[in-house]
Structure 1
């Protein structure tokens, strides 16, 4: 119960039992039990919708309630835009379980209650709900990390190729090189991000409102910023090398290497959309470390292994070339982290 409150959830007791029984259970669970926090079903009938709305926030224990009262309570909270979860086990709980955003039936409950619910607790243990909320937040976080990572990389490639076509110059990368980046370099890191451990303080966040989309405003901004800075750097490098008269194979190899290195930087940036990279434990996800090492090995193979050189039309790069690639990647990483810092600070001030 305490953890629920820290996570921004508001547990309330709604029971058909006697008032004294409800109060005793509430006290044992650590609820505040005063006259203004407790109400009987028959008293609830006497309240108008406006009066009930005024008292709703303070009411934590409802006793001697009927199915119609449970429905009214759920509707009142939903009217406020809250996400409502309801637990129950009896036939009379079915309408409320169906009406709630998340209906949770006890495993020992009736078949009617189970049919009306979204989830069934096999152990009849309330702590399972708390664990499910925790796991749900981790999953949602990781889905957003993967989406941000994949779309930002794809957006960069689209703009890079689109600008070169409009400018009437050779493509900065070949189709096979783009395919290599998307499948080989991006493939494992995006899977690894889905195994990212939960972030510290995940159960101290407030629940998200109904209207918050999967692709949040911060994610859209980060995707655009990553794409913009990536393309700005890559296009500047491309046109500089082109004007300097370098061979197109060398230029494409440089851009290909930059795209690949950027995917590693962005993957670690996406480990958390709520913290800057210097606040993270960069080694907390062993799958991401393995994916990054594998990606680096495959990048080196693509540039120095003769059969792959022929397939991908790459040429060997020297130490000076790699220093340019790594430096540009670090600049891009810094710009991304500044963007994240802006949104993090802005959210803290709100």
Structure 2
């Protein structure tokens, strides 16, 4: 099977993105599992390479088709947006605009078939806004660029996949927002992502909202029967292996030992907690429902340590691994 090409966006050039990219691409295992194609600025990557002391060559490309992948080089589609003297660790409209353009270019590269998935280094919301791009983050920006009306967040670790029905809203607002149509759409997005990645008939567990899945109405106000069960039954009617609503504590234990391919969490902390217990360096953020697969590191720009060569690249390595696992598989060479 030929290796998939993963478009890696450099993120905010004043953050740790350039450093963790250079560190990650120094791992031979990365090159053995994919063809990493960086969308960014070659000069900034060279600066980062000097900071971390790597021998990797950075090859500047004006066309992704010219990439010649090798384990001793970094192939970079060079947008030439970063001044040589741009300081690390500072918010600026220049770096925000650059981060926006890297994402825009990556979408073009994947949409044209020159890469199979996108893996993003972190950007700064503040810098993005300073550049005039009023998006909360990568997910909303990618949804805008691809014309996607609704996107779900999936967190992935080596032992667990969790897709969220709601994310960054308060708990009371989350419960109010949950309804059968939304739950069914989220399950469908997760199912489609897993099957396209080669997981036949994935086993999906759906969390309840209340303790003990409501204990037949003893806890809560009937949310399981009203908001979740109709969606589970609709998915079962399609022939899918979907089970729930199940008590979240037990479901996460079963999924962690391999009984389920994916868990559907109802709200932010219900899904994030179990993933982060497994280790921040292991968690990967996946945007589900876009026409392209996008994975991301599970951390921010870390301006306080940017340019010091001490940033940890393990989350990026894992994000690349998950991009490979979830990307539609290219045909054998």
| Greater RCO structure (CA 8 Å; 6+ sep) | 2
Please report the TM-score for the alignment, with normalisation by the length of structure 2: 0.28
Report the structure, 1 or 2, having the larger strand content.
2
Please report the TM-score for the alignment, with normalisation by the length of structure 1: 0.27
Report the structure, 1 or 2, having the larger helix content.
1
Of structures 1 and 2, the larger Rg is shown by 1
